[in-house]
Amino acid sequence: MTTQITETSATINLAPVPVTVGGESAVLAEQRGHVLLIILNRPEARNAVNKHLTQGVGEALDYAENTPDVWCVIITGAGDRAFCAGADLKAAAAGELSSDDETVRRWGFAGYVTHHISKPTIAAVNGFALGGGTEITLASDLAVAADTATFGLPEVKRGIYAGAGGAFRLPRQIPHKVAMEAILTGQPITAQRALELGLINRVVDAENLLPAAFALADEILANAPLAVQASKRIAQGITDGQVPDEAADWERGADEGLRLMATEDAREGMTAFAQKRAPQWQGR
């Protein structure tokens, strides 16, 4: 069942003020009142993540954190097909998304998944959010999705793993066995099912997505901003921009990833995907 939007957000009707961020237009940012709207702007690539997008999102979140009159952040994707298709495979093959890259090391995948700010973040999921798109949603404080949105971690179908936090965050945000099924089978989750599981907060008609996200932001804006920010830091375990409780998870993921990405199956999975054929697994 979709949520009906009965009131128009006051904030969404305010004139947008463009905010300059890097990334060669892979990300657009605009401030409306106390809300910063971040738009992943690679619709031709289904908003897949490359270095430019990572830089743009990272700089936008830094702007939000360092600007006193930004009290809330909404992140969405350009177009109506995809919120984010995950990593751009060409960028990944070129090493742009490696943890050795300074931008990725500083902010994490998409400039977002380890970029812990005090301002509340809302994912407005406008289309499919598989792999990295789901991981951006998991890293957000709240989420609103169009009824056409789809979530999931299909990495095992490609011989790789959900290395941007999905493998450990999903089991902590929805029932464990349901999360394990999603991780181990790679099967997608509909928006309605995601709502039932508590992965997202609202499901709305596609045309009502941003109004719903801004309406949710307005509910936050009605409260004292410094109290909201302190409450978020406590709830999310943020200390000096870091979440110490997740440190071991990221280290374990990095170690597993190094071994996995060196296997024949990982190479076969990505090759088969690029060639649009079924992979032939060898277990080595």
The set of catalytic residues is: 135, 155
Reported as half-sphere exposure (CB side, CA atoms, 13 A), residue 270 has a value of 15
Q: From residue 116, how far is each of 170, 178, 214, 274 by CA, in Å?
A: 18, 27, 21, 33
The beta strand positions in the chain, using DSSP E, are 17-18, 27-32, 35-40, 72-77, 121-125, 128-130, 142-146, 150-152, 189-190, 202-204
Nearest to 155 by CA among 121, 183, 115, 114: 183
Which residues contact residue 269 at a Cβ distance below 8 angstroms, ignoring those fewer than 6 apart?
157, 158, 159, 160, 279
Buried b / exposed e over 252-269, threshold 16 CB at 10 Å, is ebeeebeebeeeebbebb
DSSP classification of residue 95: T
Name the DSSP class of 49. B
Q: Closest Cα to residue 69, out of 31, 106, 41?
A: 31
The backbone torsions φ and ψ at residue 94, rounded to the nearest 5 degrees and listed phi first, read -85, 0
284 vs 278: CA distance, rounded Å: 17
